[in-house]
Each structure stands twice: as structure tokens, then as C-alpha cells.
Chain A
């Protein structure tokens, strides 16, 4: 049963949450693949600051790339396959863990130093 939903309304800019309930980014963009005149497929979500520039007004894109970086897959932008999306509600919940999907790496990197400080 095909359900129609509004990409911009239900998906874009929503909080992504992994299977453990951990916040791991926002849907900063979506990736559609296909060719002109042929069925387009939603391949997945894009999350990361590298996706910001493309969404800014044209005139600000160059500035956006300088501030937030270019679209470098695996570095400034992570691709989350559509198959990993469990449900779209108040948040976009994933089937897997953030660590397995390459999300929230920066937070994990800082986890140990902060953990060493008492009270952290």
C-alpha cells in the first residue's frame, strides 16, 4: 500500500534519532536518484553541515560552503539509506545504532575526555 507523504513537511529538517533514542543529527537534505522521465527513488537522508550550502539561497551558497564546508560524503555529510528509516513521527527514527551508521561521530569522539572529568 503506497502512502503519500510530503517530503518537505514530514522529513526535511526533522530530528534523526537512532534505535537507542540517541539524537544523531537532522535531515539536512534528502537524496533522490534517477534520470529525467524515469521513476525517481528516495535513496536516503543526508545529514551534516556539508549539506547546508546547497539549501541556502543561490547567492549565499559560496559563503555557505566557506562557513560550513563542502559536501564531502563520509566527512561533512553522512548518507543514511532509506532502508534504515523505521518511522517518521515527531522524529525520524532509525532501525540501527548511530555508531553503525556513521552518525554522531563528533559526540563520540568527545565522550572520553568529558567522561574523565568528574561529574561529566
Chain B
């Protein structure tokens, strides 16, 4: 059962993927606007990302190829370049948004100018990444992100109407465009490609071998399962506390109220801390995903396990991404707007990212006996359809709802 303790990679990937700045606000808004009626979108996202993370982790453990290696190999240089450029752009918006989120949270602790805290936050993250080995980074952000369970506690604190909650797990026949915009957005946000770039590269950083496939499966299931639970907790708490009051959560600072209302100052502090580590973890996820992508595409040496001097261009790449993220923030764009654009733009890259993963994972010449079993096979194809639906629907919905403005 020591395998259970090795789920830190899954945790940081999941927390960075499921409760980053965009998810925190988006899930809260979904609860405030639609009560429990969008709960069903969360498990759909969880199962999808868990399936693909498991696949990408398995491919990495067996073939030592993380996702971008697979993309370059399978799709060649031209197409690979397109995927690279698109995903780097999305990652940049994501990094900028997460650093912005860190800055906002620091402001809520110690009132000082936003850009100052953006700089402090970015530098703090850089120092932490620099001095901490990969496993340490995973554990720090993954475990401390679990503080967000205060929101799950808040959701249960109010003795929810479980009948209504259960009803939320069945999709509503609603025809409201805004409702479907949120549904698509929630699913798309759960499946963002940077999660599998990070997860699969992390598998190689950790040195996973075929004997670690159980650990891989546990990481994917437990990690993303927890991420999903946190999202559900957030949505439920918001449905109970914000919807009746008519609050529209448009700010990151609104989210901690969900823990402050039942638990007072302690709840507030826990919420702020949990959010800080979750969003910080997401910043690490996204910037590393970018560096992994570039290095793996070009064939450079890469990985935290190589140390900075052992993989200098890779190191420069993630440092540069933090710098560029700060530059984007200096233009004054709201971090919440940034994260919304990044989610919507990423949907276009979704099929390009996941199709190569699926094709390799099922290919016996690469995977031998570890190729997709029946479960992975079925779910892999089902979710490919889901991805395509999401990819097609996202931008029209964004335009139709004026980015959720109604």
C-alpha cells in the first residue's frame, strides 16, 4: 500500500488542473447561477482527464515518451510545430493568469499593489522550483492544495438537500445558452492539455517503469478524483450560500467567503492558503508544461532531475515563461479574462493533443502487453467524441453568451 503514498504527482497535476484560478471562479459561478444543476459536468471532466492522464502516464512509463515526444514523433515536424505554437500560447495565458491569481491572493493577505505582488509571487515560485527537487515540488503544492477541502466541509456544513444534489448529476434539459456555455467550459477546463504534458513528463521525472503502472493508475484516479471532489464542494457551497443571496462571483476574492461564512476567520485563512497553493501549483504546472513541450519537441535535454546545469535550455524556457507571464500581466488584462481565453483557445488544441496519445497507447508495437485494455479503449474513444463536441461548441457558445456576460 506504499503505492497510495506516491500519488503526489497526480495530486499536483490534478489540483493545478482542477482548482486553478479559472476553475475556482468558474465552479463558484456555476453554483451561484445554476445551483446544483451543473454538477454532472464535473464527473465528465474527471473521468476524461483521468483516462487520458493514465494513458499518457502509461505511455511514458513503458516507452519513456512523454506526450510532446509522442506528438512530434506521430505527427511530424509541421503539424507538431502547429500544436507546439498553439499550446505555448495557451500556456502563456495560463501562467500569466495563475501568477495574477497568486498576486490577488497575496493582496488579500497583505494589502499592497498588484504588480508588486505579481513580481513577488513569480520570484517566490521561481525560488521554490529552483531549490526543490521535483518530488518536493509535487508534494508541496499537491498536499497543501488539499487545504481546499475546507470548501467541501463548508458544503457539508449546511446539511445539503441530498435529493437536489443527486438531481444535479443528471444533465438538465435546459435550453439556456449560458447554461451550456458553463457546461462546456467546465469540461474544457478539466481537460486542458497542459495537465497531460506535465503529468506524462512527471512520470519520466519520477523514473516510472512498467512495474509502476499501478502507481500511475492510482495517481490518475485518486489525484483527479480529489480534484473533482474539490470542484463539486465548491459548486455545492456556492449553490447553498451564493445562489440564495443573489451573489455573482466575479472576483477571485469572492470565493473565500464560502469558507468564511460557516467558519469565520479560520475558514477565511484556510481558503486563502489553499487557493494560494493550488494556484501556485497551477503556475508551476503550466510553465513546466511549456518548457517540457519546447524541449521535447526540439530534442533538448530536459527535466528537473537533470538539474539546471544539466538541462540549461529547458531551465531557461520555464524561467522565460515566468518572465513573459509577468509581461502579459503588465498589460493590465484581468487574470480572470486571461484564464477564460486560455480555456476556450485550448479546446482547439484538445483533439490534436489527445489523438496521438490514444493512438500510441493502443499500439502494441510500442506498448506490447501494456497497450490499452478494454476500459481504456472504450473510454478513450468515447472521450475523443466528447472532445470534438467540446472543441466545436466552445467558441460559438463563447460568442453567443458574450463570454458569459449574458
B170 near A: Cβ within 8 Å? no
How would you classify the secondary structure of chain B's contact residues: helix, strand, loop or mixed? helix
Q: With A22-B301, A90-B65, A107-B313 known to touch, is A120 a contact of B78 (CB < 8 Å)?
A: no
B301 x A107 contact (CB < 8 A): yes
Complex Cα distance, B76 from A113, in Å, reads 34
* Contact residues in B for A55 (Cβ distance below 8 Å): 76-78
A5 near B: Cβ within 8 Å? no
B124 near A: Cβ within 8 Å? no
Find residues 84-120 in chain A having any chain B CB closer than 8 Å to their own CB. 90-91, 104, 106-107, 109-115, 117, 119-120
B378 near A: Cβ within 8 Å? no
How would you classify the secondary structure of chain A's contact residues: helix, strand, loop or mixed? mixed
A49 to nearest B CB, angstroms?
Answer: 7
Set A47, A106, A119: member contacting B308, Cβ < 8 A? A119
* Contact residues in A for B81 (Cβ distance below 8 Å): 52, 56
Set A12, A24, A57, A113: member contacting B301, Cβ < 8 A? A24
Complex Cα distance, B311 from A82, in Å, reads 26
A74 to nearest B CB, angstroms?
Answer: 18
B57 near A: Cβ within 8 Å? no
B217 near A: Cβ within 8 Å? no
Set A13, A107, A112, A119: member contacting B300, Cβ < 8 A? A107
* Contact residues in A for B297 (Cβ distance below 8 Å): 26
* Contact residues in B for A120 (Cβ distance below 8 Å): 130, 307-309, 315
A16 near B: Cβ within 8 Å? yes
Q: Give the residue name and chain of the B residue nearest to A57 (CB).
A: B78
Q: With A22-B301, A23-B301, A107-B301 known to touch, is A28 a contact of B77 (CB < 8 Å)?
A: yes
Set B72, B131, B302: member contacting A13, Cβ < 8 A? B72
A-side interface residues, number (CB < 8 Å)? 33
B298 x A49 contact (CB < 8 A): yes
Find residues 65-98 in chain B having any chain A CB closer than 8 Å to their own CB. 65, 69, 72-73, 76-78, 80-81
* Contact residues in B for A60 (Cβ distance below 8 Å): 78
B299 near A: Cβ within 8 Å? yes
A50 near B: Cβ within 8 Å? no
B58 near A: Cβ within 8 Å? no
* Contact residues in A for B315 (Cβ distance below 8 Å): 114, 120
* Contact residues in B for A112 (Cβ distance below 8 Å): 309
A12 x B308 contact (CB < 8 A): no
Find residues 1-58 in chain A having any chain B CB closer than 8 Å to their own CB. 12-16, 22-26, 28, 47, 49, 52, 55-57
B316 x A110 contact (CB < 8 A): yes
User: Nearest 8 CB-CB pairs, A to B?
Assistant: A26-B299, A110-B312, A120-B308, A115-B309, A25-B299, A114-B309, A114-B308, A23-B301
Binding site for B on A (CB under 8 A): 12-16, 22-26, 28, 47, 49, 52, 55-57, 60, 90-91, 104, 106-107, 109-115, 117, 119-120
Listed A/B pairs (12) with beta-carbon separation below 8 Å: A15-B69, A24-B301, A25-B298, A26-B299, A55-B76, A110-B312, A110-B313, A114-B315, A117-B130, A119-B131, A119-B308, A120-B130
